[in-house]
């Protein structure tokens, strides 16, 4: 069933792994007693493990290949179970209702800590959906997305400190400022694509953060802004627990609004222009699409969501400083989009929940958290590069007139 050649290949792989891990896993130097331990048994485990894994990997790839060939031969349009369920209202509505019920009752079922964690996850859902407009739909790789998030957070912090503006006043202002900054970033990068765009946006994100870190008179530097008030509810004084629950419901509403808007945007004229821009710029111009306007709206609309979540973030933590807006943050949001599936709304939601909640619940294994994170990312990109839930756009099929009359 398994040819000699394959076995030999796997054996070679395991040998290679044993060699690579030899210095780390076999040799152990005790510097105090000046002795060296040789842990040969580790080498054996590594060899066996990698041998078995490589055989499984090979079988997996073979099966996937043959399945793909069969699909092409039989012209089957393959959709995953989730996608089929989403298409069919018979499953979609009960599923949606169940999720909604769960989301509404969540604060009554779990502790304050859990609510807080879930609020954070929901914030990343919105951030992911916002970045999805820029990266997933319009195809502009933005590594400085966190800059807009920062602008939102600081606009609440600063406007509240200096002018005493409340949460609800600043929410649209923060969104607007972030959108303006998005357009400002958009102008110089209009001519850039791909790698170059990624580098410029990365630098942009860092510049904004460094300004906030060093311009003490304006932003209070690394010490940040504290005592930012939580959002009020019609003038009632809320206890801490109530405020957390309130924020949670606020985020639920926010997520629903975002999903609605992003969904409408994707199926709109503008959404189609974004997709065309992602696919081919020259053809996009030949279709009469204004490239400048399309790119700028993508940046601005993506940034808007980050600005709003930024305001909410400031209100949630009541303290902000530049350390919350490092490149890692951008990378995580980007990972959410890529892991979930570029362009797919449900994928992004799932990606955010996995990437934010998993590390939280795996605190017991915190030493290995980053290791697992890396392993998941690598295996995702190898086995499912299109993301957890790939985006399936609506399909239209052409039927000649005669058939329609039947």
Partner 1 sequence: MLELHKVHSYYGNIQALKGVSLKINEGEIISLIGANGAGKSTTLMSVCGIVSPRSGKISFEGRSIHQLPADQIVTLGISQVPEGRHIFPHLSVRENLDMGAFLRTDKDGIKRDLDYVFSLFPILAERSGQAGGNLSGGEQQMLAMSRALMARPKLLLLDEPSMGLAPLIIQQIFDIIKKINQEQNTTIFLVEQNAYQALQISDRGYVIENGHITLAQDASELMQNPAVQKAYLGI
Q: Using CB under 8 A as the criterion, which residues of the chain lie in contact with partner 1 when the complex forms? A: 77, 269, 272-273, 275-276, 279-280, 282-283, 285-292, 393, 395-398, 400-401
Round to whole Å and give the CA distance between 180 and 301. 10
Q: How far is the CB of 299 from partner 1 (least distance, A)?
A: 18
Assess contact for 318 and 227: CB atoms under 8 A.
yes
User: What's the burial of 153, exposed, middle or buried (CB within 10 Å: 0-12/13-18/19+)?
Assistant: buried
Q: Cβ closer to partner 1: 135 or 273?
A: 273
Q: Cβ closer to partner 1: 108 or 396?
A: 396
Q: Cβ closer to partner 1: 363 or 395?
A: 395
Assess contact for 129 and 337: CB atoms under 8 A.
no
Q: How far is the CB of 41 from partner 1 (least distance, A)?
A: 50
Q: Cβ closer to partner 1: 23 or 288?
A: 288
For residue 355 the two structure tokens come to: 């990437």
Q: How far is the CB of 61 from partner 1 (least distance, A)?
A: 22
Q: Cβ closer to partner 1: 126 or 138?
A: 138
Positive or negative, the CA dihedral 248, 133, 351, 323 is: negative
Q: How far is the CB of 279 from partner 1 (least distance, A)?
A: 4
Q: How far is the CB of 401 from partner 1 (least distance, A)?
A: 7
Helix or strand holding residue 30 (H, E): strand 27-30
Round to whole Å and give the CA distance between 318 and 243. 12
Q: Cβ closer to partner 1: 112 or 268?
A: 268
For residue 17 the two structure tokens come to: 């792994």
Other C-beta atoms closer than 10 Å to the C-beta of 57 total 16
Q: How far is the CB of 238 from partner 1 (least distance, A)?
A: 48
Q: Cβ closer to partner 1: 236 or 396?
A: 396
Q: How far is the CB of 143 from partner 1 (least distance, A)?
A: 23
Diameter of the chain measured on Cα atoms: 90
Round to whole Å and give the CA distance between 268 and 274. 10
Nearest Cα residue to 335 out of 371, 299, 305, 378: 378
């Amino acid at each position: 069933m398994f040819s000699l050649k394959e076995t030999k290949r796997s054996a070679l792989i395991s040998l290679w792994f044993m060699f690579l891990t030899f210095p780390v896993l076999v040799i152990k130097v005790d510097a105090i007693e000046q002795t060296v331990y040789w842990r040969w048994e580790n080498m054996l485990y590594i060899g066996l493990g990698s041998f078995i894994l490589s055989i499984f990997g090979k079988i997996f790839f073979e099966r996937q290949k043959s399945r793909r060939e069969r699909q092409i031969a039989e012209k089957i349009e393959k959709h995953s179970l989730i996608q089929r369920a989403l298409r069919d209202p018979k499953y979609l509505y009960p599923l949606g209702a169940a999720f909604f019920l769960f989301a509404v009752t969540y604060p009554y079922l779990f502790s304050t800590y859990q609510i807080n964690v879930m609020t954070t996850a929901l914030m990343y859902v919105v951030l992911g959906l916002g970045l999805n407009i820029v990266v997933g739909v319009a195809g502009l790789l933005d590594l400085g997305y966190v800059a807009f998030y920062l602008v939102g957070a600081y606009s609440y912090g600063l406007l509240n400190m200096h002018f005493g503006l409340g949460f609800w006043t600043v929410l649209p202002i923060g969104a607007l400022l972030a959108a303006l900054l998005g357009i400002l970033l958009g102008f110089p990068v209009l001519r850039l694509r791909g790698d170059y765009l990624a580098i410029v946006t990365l630098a942009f994100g860092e510049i904004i953060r460094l300004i906030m870190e060093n311009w003490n008179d304006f932003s209070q530097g690394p010490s940040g802004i504290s005592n930012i008030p939580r959002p009020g509810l019609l003038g009632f004084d809320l206890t801490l627990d109530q405020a957390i629950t309130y924020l949670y419901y606020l985020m639920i509403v926010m997520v629903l609004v975002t999903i609605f808007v992003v969904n409408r945007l994707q199926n709109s004229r503008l959404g189609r222009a974004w997709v065309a821009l992602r696919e081919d710029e020259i053809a996009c111009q030949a279709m009469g699409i204004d490239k400048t306007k399309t790119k700028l709206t993508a940046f601005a609309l993506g940034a808007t969501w980050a600005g709003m979540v930024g305001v909410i973030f400031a209100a949630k933590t009541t303290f902000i400083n530049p350390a919350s807006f490092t490149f890692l943050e951008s990378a995580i949001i980007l990972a959410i989009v890529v892991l979930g599936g570029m362009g797919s709304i449900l994928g992004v939601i799932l990606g955010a929940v996995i990437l934010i909640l998993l590390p939280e619940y795996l605190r017991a294994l915190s030493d290995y958290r980053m290791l697992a994170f890396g392993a998941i990312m690598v295996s995702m990109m190898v086995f499912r590069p299109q993301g957890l839930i790939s985006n399936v756009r609506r399909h239209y099929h052409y039927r000649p007139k005669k058939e329609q009359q039947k």
